[in-house]
Structure 1
């Protein structure tokens, strides 16, 4: 499977070898990872990918993606699916950007690209959540076209589906 490309980013599908090196902290070179990458969340996601591959096989295209800037190729974060679509076509996503690259719209751009990809590969609904105090993540999901659909005492829940055309992300954004 090839890379997904947006205006400023490359969403690179993470291989088992890459996930293993990331979990082990083995950088592919100083010129490949932005300061702060990988975050704890990236390590958790790579570990989940390795466990999924060991248990049920490679989930691609519904796996993990490394977010790289097109201008310099630096890995600045990750995003991906927690698992392939369920029997209703629903998938859950997660994402993160290193602090040195936050506040520049990269997370929203990456998420819009992933939502379009999910839709084009048969997902009917994409879900995500963010802690109440994580306003930035909530804004990312809304900027990418997701809408708040509920909350509990800890998190707000977001989703987009393609029976509601207002929730479809705009690929030009």
Structure 2
């Protein structure tokens, strides 16, 4: 299922598509930004490429801009909810797509659907010095719950919203 907002779509990445992204085997209609994929996404995409096809919505997604159709980043759940209903997620945009609110919108779009799919809690972390990413999480209702020297850990309970 493709999730859509006014400015972007989140398109599920199948194992075959993940393999093609890692190998940079672009086909007509893929429209990957020249900076995509970025280094942080290669390991999760490689893992997904080796997985069996699945219909779970708790997967990785391309972030595609609506105005030009380019895939400029990714959003990914790290698996389906655990026994406590908790899902972890991450996201990223190519450098040239940052600063326009697309990450905030992508996270919002995914988290709007997560409770209907069975998630009760969403968690994420980001670098202490990554102020832009921290703001993305805070704008999406995640609260700073702990930190260490390198990371800030965030949580959002869907039942309390």
The verdict on a shared fold, with TM-score over 0.5 as the criterion, is yes
CA separation of 1:30 and 1:89: change in aligned 2, threshold 3 A: closer
Q: Which runs of 5+ in 2 are unaligned?
A: none
2:128 maps to 1:132? yes
1-structure distance, mates of 2:29, 2:35: 12
* 8 Å Cα contact 1:59-1:84 kept in structure 2: no
* C-alpha distance in 2 between matches for 1:9 and 1:45: 22
| Residue 42 (structure 1) aligns with | 41
TM-score, with length taken from structure 2: 0.93
Give the aligned partner of residue 15 of structure 2.
16
Partners of 1:68 and 1:75 within 8 A in 2:
yes
| TM-score scaled by length of structure 1 | 0.87
Alpha-carbon distance in 2 for matches of 1:153, 1:27: 39
Structure 1: 5+ residue runs without aligned partners?
Answer: 166-173
**Conserved? CA contact 1:128–1:157, under 8 Å:** yes
Distance (Å, rounded) in 1 between the aligned partners of 2:10 and 2:29? 19
What secondary structure is seen at the aligned counterpart in 2 of 1:33? Answer: coil
Preserved contact between residue 59 and residue 83 of structure 1 (Cα < 8 Å)? no
Structure 2 distance, partners of 1:46, 1:64, is 8
What pairs up with 1:7-86 in 2 under 5 angstroms? 7-29=6-28, 32-51=31-50, 53-54=51-52, 58=54, 60-86=56-82
* Partners of 1:138 and 1:163 in 2: CA distance: 22
Aligned Cα root-mean-square deviation (Å): 1.7
SS in 2 for 1:148: strand
Aligned residues: 161
1:144 to 2:140 alignment: yes
- Separation in 1 of the partners of 2:114 and 2:108? 10
Q: For the Cα contact (< 8 Å) 2:7–2:66, is it kept in 1?
A: yes
